[in-house]
Amino acid sequence: MLQEKKIGFIGGGAMAEALLRGMINTGLIQPQQIIVSDIIAERRDYLAQAYAVSTTGEIHAAAKNTDILFLAVKPQVVKAVMEQLSGQVATTTIVVSIVAGLTLAALQAKFPGCAVIRVMPNTPIAVGAGMSALALGKLATKQDSDLISRIFSSAGTAVTVGEELMDAVTGLSGSGPAYGFVMIDALADAGVSVGLSRQTALVLAAQTLLGAAKMVLETGEHPAKLRDMVTSPGGTAITGIHVLEQNGLRAALIDAVKAATKRSQEMGKK
């Protein structure tokens, strides 16, 4: 399904690199099918050497005759980029934006006749463990959705939601890695405080959260049920959970997601 597609990237930053790495490493796409446009020559040279993809400093060259075109530039320059591309992209091209805050309506206005898809990935996509949410434009078909989902699934997991939920996605999975990093850092500090070395505490904390997440995803069990499996009567885990509840960890995480969602909504109105 993807072996005959030509893929273009406007912007060759970390997210673009994570995607092309995922596609190439999983065999979805061959390097010769990909062309990346970036304004920084050193970045173009790096991508060409690391992944054997074609690179260019000219955005029109990356957009010409592509079947799928990824917009992977900074939000502050995306309007200028779309202006340059206006009228240059064939209506058979699927235009995919990973630009924060760029709406489907804005995409559709600049690429009339194209199927447009908006995606919110998160940073763990860089290590093949990303969480990406897709929102489909009015011209995007199920086949288009399946195609783009396969690409993002090559670097993690992908789901499809209505665009009205993209701010909620941003508040939860988009911002979520930051919450996880804070928890890992805090757990590592706690480990040091009870006598562990910093490096050992960090590995213990990070791997423990990774394992807990993997159990939720692979067993399909509710987190509360898995928690109950760990909390034996009068044991250490229930004692620790009691302290977490006393200090409002659950409420703090809920409030963090709600606040981040609200902030995303505010940013989208600017």
Residues 42-91 pLDDT 10s = 999 999 999 999 999 999 999 988 999 999 999 889 999 999 998 889 99
How much is the pTM?
A: 0.89
Residue 36's DSSP bridge partners are 9, 55
Q: What is the mean pLDDT of residues 238-267?
A: 94
**9, 35 Cβ separation under 8 angstroms:** yes
Residue ranges for the known binding site for NADP(+) are 10-15, 72-75
Domains and CATH numbers, the chain: 7-167 (3.40.50.720), 174-268 (1.10.3730.10)
Question: For residue 8, what pLDDT band results from cuts at 50, 70 and 90?
Answer: very high
- Please say if the pLDDT value at position 257 is more than 70: yes
Question: For residue 101, what pLDDT band results from cuts at 50, 70 and 90?
Answer: confident
At 270 the pLDDT is: 67
CA distance 100 to 78: 10
- Please say if the pLDDT value at position 117 is more than 90: yes
Residue ranges for the known binding site are 10-15, 72-75
CA distance 153 to 28: 11
Q: 85: which 2 tokens?
A: 């591309």
Which one, of 42, 45, 47, lies nearest residue 18 by Cα?
A: 47
